[in-house]
Amino acid sequence: MAKAFRTHSQAAATLIAVVKTIQKPPHKQPARFVEPIQCLAVAKLPEGPDWEYEIKFDGYRALGIKSAGRVRLVSRNGNDFSARFPCVARALSKLPDDTVVDGEIVALDETGKPSFNVLQNYNHSATPLQFYAFDLLHLAGKNLRDRPLDDRRELLRAKVMPRMQGEIRFSETVEATAVEIVAAVKKQGLEGVIAKRRDGLYEPAGARAPG
């Protein structure tokens, strides 16, 4: 497996620097729906220290939005998922106010693997649901979309995830080469891989490359 590209000390220093800039925003901006950035299908994953990899889950893309104390779970097309997946919406109630997280709603089959078929037929039964958060667009009234991906994810891990419980999970980066991760995903029968630029901004017109 490949070594991590950033040390813990580097990550901590970056987090401290970013937090200092958002502790007292000059004008608090209410959280709102933002068109999610989309994936771009490629034949070969990009490689190198500028890229990181995450598992592509077989679920529904959604934004968790909390503003004025109210939580909404919104699809990538702007449809409200809150009533359809109330357990996920409730779990996101611990978000800081005026915060937006990007993630994927996933249903698990009897083997514990993500299943799109199970998700499509979800009927508020005992089917376990999870929301994998992988990006942070807005935090406590501060727009983060113009910050590098690494900064946004470090804030997501440090400032948001400790408040989350149950259904809300952090989508971890897989520290491996492109060849290793593609082979592992195929072996386990998972949906795919997403490659993201570590310095990438959150630009809806932009795209990320899945495997």
What CA–CA distance (Å, rounded) separates 155 from 8?
14
Q: Choose among 201, 147, 196, 188: nearest CA to 47.
A: 196
| Residue with the two structure tokens 């998922």 | 81
What CA–CA distance (Å, rounded) separates 4 from 149?
16
Please state, as a whole number, how many other Cβ atoms lie within 10 Å of the Cβ of residue 198. Answer: 16
Q: Which residue among 28, 56, 159, 196 is the active-site one?
A: 56
Q: Is 187 a catalytic residue?
A: no
- Going by the DSSP 8-state scheme, the letter that residue 93 receives in this structure is G
Please state, as a whole number, how many other Cβ atoms lie within 10 Å of the Cβ of residue 194. Answer: 20
What CA–CA distance (Å, rounded) separates 57 from 104?
7
Q: Choose among 115, 57, 89: nearest CA to 168.
A: 89
List, by residue number, the catalytic residues: 56
